[in-house]
Amino acid sequence: MTNPITNMPNDPGDIKGEEYWAKRGAINLFLFRRYSPSARATNPQKPVLFLVHGSSFSARTAYDLDIPGQGDYSLMKTFAGLGYDVWTMDHEGYGKSSHTDGFSYIADGVEDIKAATPIIENQTNKSSFCFFGSSSGALRAGAFANTHPEKVKKLALAALVWTGDGSPTLLKRAEKINEWRETNRRTVDEEAYKEIFTRDVEGLTIPELPSVAAAAEMKNGGGSVPNGTYIDMCVNLPVVDPKKVECPVMIFRGDHDGIATDDDVLRFFINLPNKDKQLVMVSGQAHNTTIGINRARFWHSLDSFLSMPKRVDL
Amino acid sequence: MEGPIWSHEYFAQKGDVSLFMWRKRLESPSKCPAPKPVLFLVHGSSFSGPTGFDLQVPEKQDYSLMDKFASYGFDVWTLDHEGYGRSDKTSGNSGILEGVNDISAGMELIRRETHATSAAFYGSSSGALRAAAFAEVFPNSVNKLILDAFVWTGEGSPTLTERTKKIDQWTSRNFRSVDRDFFLSIFTRDKPGTSEEGVAEALAERELAICNSVPTGTYVDMCSLLPICDPTKIKCPVLIIRGEHDGIATEEDLFNYFNKLPTRDKQFVIIPGLAHVTFLGANRSRLWHVMKDFLHGPDRIDER
């Protein structure tokens, strides 16, 4: 059965949720997996999909949110229903992963993903996966693709910023650079989430989202997150080299996203050497494409990119 | 589930000029009167609508773009522009802007037959120029626009640089001869091996059975009048598709066009393994996939 609004399959009714742990030195890293045995059996060609979270949410707040009575909000459940084997992880200092005295910079995130991949390989018998990252999660995923191209089959990037030139959000964020550097963590509560969801434009997320996200984040990670990605995005961009991304890439950009200018994103796209690439710009979207009211449009684009027929070489 | 595909031919009138139209959909309108979304396919410079978009290749499957999108649930139409295929041969050279008038006449007929007030448009090569120019002039008639093998200013285009060497030939007469070797060259000029053997031959056989010359207007326009299209006047969502090896335009030319489109619903997709005639290439299924997902995307929910 297909949902007539989203054009996506309805919940198959057997979606599993499994927890795993990876180690990076002394740091414990939490991994979470969702899949549907029946959907996997029906769609055996669907790949392993690794979701990389951004700066202000732990993995399940970002990608496995449950809002009763408001329809599907979990990207993990939606794609598990489509037949994907969906994984995500809490980076160092986020969610259930070890809260260290580090800042959890983009480069640390790359090491986190590197530590997670053997677990996923072991469970799935696959040696490369499709990656999706949003915001600084796109930077983590992009930087991982730079250094470990053999592990990245396809790369989908949402809410991407490359150089940060002209970015309204980063210009404002940089005003507090001393605050981000002073301590390695900041509080994320309902007020912080309300600011994140409305800073670009109001009305593209439901009013209940800040309180639901804050409650989920408190449950998942205790209500605070590391500052490293904020610092990187303010003073260390670019951290991803498009010329070193070898796999097919889709860039998804919401029309109101202030994290980057169109020009910055387009120049990143132009510099990608692989000719299998898509730039998808969609209206009715701000920075948080995965949990906005038009998230179905994002799902549709992501599934389409990941489901592209294989290339025929004569 | 795919059912039988119904087809029918029509003639639209543009003044004294009769324009051939070809339609395909699942089930006839009388058997299945529920409206289907209309997809209008606009052909390019060198072969007519049904020849390119409804090609049957001996011993090979799935070469008809019309059949494929009919099976996806669309009401698929194409038209032979003035001087092409089964449309009237006139003394004109059937330039891009004349093609806009042809499409306008075709849309009048589609409105009468389907009651649809707008259609999704797909145009390839100079067909993309015709479709984009039509969308500029008749924005209410175009709900989505797919531009494939497109060129905007033509700056740095390998194909147009080569073509311009014969501009005196194109401007000296309104028709140019086409033969088997010419059709074969379309499939090999960019990158040999991007289409299966037998496809160019099948296309040549079918087109040469109805005509052995085509108008020169779009060649003249593409060599001497670009840019003809103004991206700032397009209002609907736009998908630009580019075959990796297409020599009709540089990527930069297309990025510049894309960047100037005012709509915030726009996509730029490059498909490896395809050259200029994407819909008859070995990797045409990747084209269908991208087109289908663009046309089938969920509607936007507006602010709450």
Do A312 and B304 make contact, defined as CB atoms within 8 angstroms?
Answer: no
* Interface mutation vs chain B, best among A265, A266, A275, most B CBs within 10 Å: A275
Do B300 and A283 make contact, defined as CB atoms within 8 angstroms?
Answer: yes
pLDDT, residue A7, reads 61
pLDDT, residue B263, reads 97
Query: Is the CB of A198 inside 8 Å of chain B's CB atoms?
Result: no
CA closest to A286 among chain B residues? B303
Query: Is the CB of A266 inside 8 Å of chain B's CB atoms?
Result: yes
- Check pLDDT > 60 for residue A70: yes
Indicate whether A286 belongs to any domain.
yes
CA–CA min distance A5, chain B (Å): 7
The mean pLDDT value of chain A amounts to 95
Nearest Cα residue to A232 out of A210, A259, A213? A259
Cβ pair A228, A108 in contact under 8 A: yes
Q: What is the CATH number of the domain that holds A287?
A: 3.40.50.1820
- Per-residue confidence band for A18, with pLDDT thresholds at 50, 70 and 90: very high
Indicate whether B230 belongs to any domain.
yes
CA–CA separation, B121 and B262 (whole Å)? 18
* Interface mutation vs chain A, best among B68, B194, B197, B300, most A CBs within 10 Å: B300
- Check pLDDT > 70 for residue A48: yes
- Per-residue confidence band for B4, with pLDDT thresholds at 50, 70 and 90: confident
**Segment B174-224, tens digit of pLDDT:** 999 999 999 999 999 999 999 999 999 999 999 999 999 999 999 999 999
From residue B28, alpha-carbon distances to B23, B80, B109, B247 in Å are 10, 22, 17, 40
- Per-residue confidence band for B1, with pLDDT thresholds at 50, 70 and 90: very low
**Segment B247-266, tens digit of pLDDT:** 999 999 999 999 999 999 99
Do B255 and A314 make contact, defined as CB atoms within 8 angstroms?
Answer: no
pLDDT, residue B16, reads 97
Indicate whether A269 belongs to any domain.
yes
Indicate whether B68 belongs to any domain.
yes
Give the DSSP letter of residue A4: T
What is the complex's ipTM, to 2 decimals? Answer: 0.95
**Segment A258-269, tens digit of pLDDT:** 999 999 999 999
- Check pLDDT > 90 for residue B290: yes
Helix extents (H) in A126-249 = 136-147, 168-173, 177-182, 190-198, 209-221, 228-231
CA–CA separation, A11 and B49 (whole Å)? 42
Do B193 and A206 make contact, defined as CB atoms within 8 angstroms?
Answer: no
CA–CA separation, A55 and B245 (whole Å)? 39
Do B272 and A311 make contact, defined as CB atoms within 8 angstroms?
Answer: yes
pLDDT, residue B304, reads 59
With contacts defined as CB-CB under 8 Å, which chain A residues touch B266? 281
Q: Residue B162: count other Cβ atoms within 10 Å of its Cβ.
A: 12
With contacts defined as CB-CB under 8 Å, which chain A residues touch B196? 314
Query: Is the CB of A174 inside 8 Å of chain B's CB atoms?
Result: no
Q: State the maximum Cα–Cα separation within chain B, in Å, rounded to a whole number.
A: 60
CA–CA min distance B206, chain A (Å): 24
Based on the structure, what is the number of domains in chain A? 1
Do A282 and B264 make contact, defined as CB atoms within 8 angstroms?
Answer: yes
Considering chain A, what percentage of its residues have pLDDT values greater than 70?
97
CA A23 to chain centroid, in Å, comes to 21
CA–CA min distance B111, chain A (Å): 26
Indicate whether A109 belongs to any domain.
yes
CA–CA min distance B213, chain A (Å): 31
The mean pLDDT value of chain B amounts to 96
**Segment A217-236, tens digit of pLDDT:** 999 999 999 999 999 999 99
Do A276 and B271 make contact, defined as CB atoms within 8 angstroms?
Answer: yes
- Per-residue confidence band for A11, with pLDDT thresholds at 50, 70 and 90: confident
**Segment B76-127, tens digit of pLDDT:** 999 999 999 999 999 999 999 999 999 999 999 999 999 999 999 999 999 9
Indicate whether A64 belongs to any domain.
yes
Do A307 and B289 make contact, defined as CB atoms within 8 angstroms?
Answer: yes
**Segment B226-246, tens digit of pLDDT:** 999 999 999 999 999 999 999
With contacts defined as CB-CB under 8 Å, which chain B residues touch A297? 297-298, 300
When comparing pLDDT for B232 and A10, which is higher? B232
Q: What is the CATH number of the domain that holds B99?
A: 3.40.50.1820
pLDDT, residue B251, reads 97
Q: What is the span of the domain harbouring residue B95? A: 5-295
Residue with tokens 């602010």: B303
Based on the structure, what is the number of domains in chain B? 1
Cβ pair A263, A166 in contact under 8 A: yes
Indicate whether A224 belongs to any domain.
yes
Indicate whether B253 belongs to any domain.
yes
With contacts defined as CB-CB under 8 Å, which chain A residues touch B290? 278, 304, 308
Find the mean pLDDT for residues A295-301.
95
Q: Using an 8 Å CB-CB cutoff, list residues of chain B that contact chain A.
A: 193-194, 196, 244, 251-252, 255, 258-259, 263-273, 282-283, 285-286, 289-290, 293, 296-298, 300-304
Find the mean pLDDT for residues A236-242.
98
CA–CA min distance A197, chain B (Å): 13
- Check pLDDT > 60 for residue A160: yes
Do A280 and B272 make contact, defined as CB atoms within 8 angstroms?
Answer: no
From residue B130, alpha-carbon distances to A129, A175, A298, B123, B250 in Å are 42, 50, 31, 7, 19
Q: Residue B302: count other Cβ atoms within 10 Å of its Cβ.
A: 11
Indicate whether B302 belongs to any domain.
no
Do A281 and B303 make contact, defined as CB atoms within 8 angstroms?
Answer: no
Sign of CA dihedral A301, A86, A8, A220: negative
CA–CA min distance B134, chain A (Å): 23
pLDDT, residue A10, reads 72
β-pair partners for A211? none
CA closest to A293 among chain B residues? B301
Dihedrals phi, psi of A268, to nearest 5 degrees:
-60, -45
β-pair partners for B122? B41, B146
Indicate whether B304 belongs to any domain.
no
Do B196 and A314 make contact, defined as CB atoms within 8 angstroms?
Answer: yes
With contacts defined as CB-CB under 8 Å, which chain B residues touch A252? none
**Segment A92-121, tens digit of pLDDT:** 999 999 999 999 999 999 999 999 999 999
Find the mean pLDDT for residues A202-216.
95
Q: List the single residue in B259, B265, B270 with the smallest CB-CB distance to A277.
A: B270
Do A284 and B300 make contact, defined as CB atoms within 8 angstroms?
Answer: yes
Give the DSSP letter of residue A25: T
Indicate whether B155 belongs to any domain.
yes
Dihedrals phi, psi of B190, to nearest 5 degrees:
-90, -50
**Cis peptide before B35, with omega less than 30 degrees from 0?**
no
Helix extents (H) in chain B = 49-53, 65-71, 96-114, 126-137, 158-164, 167-172, 180-188, 199-208, 217-224, 251-260, 284-295
Dihedrals phi, psi of A228, to nearest 5 degrees:
-55, -45
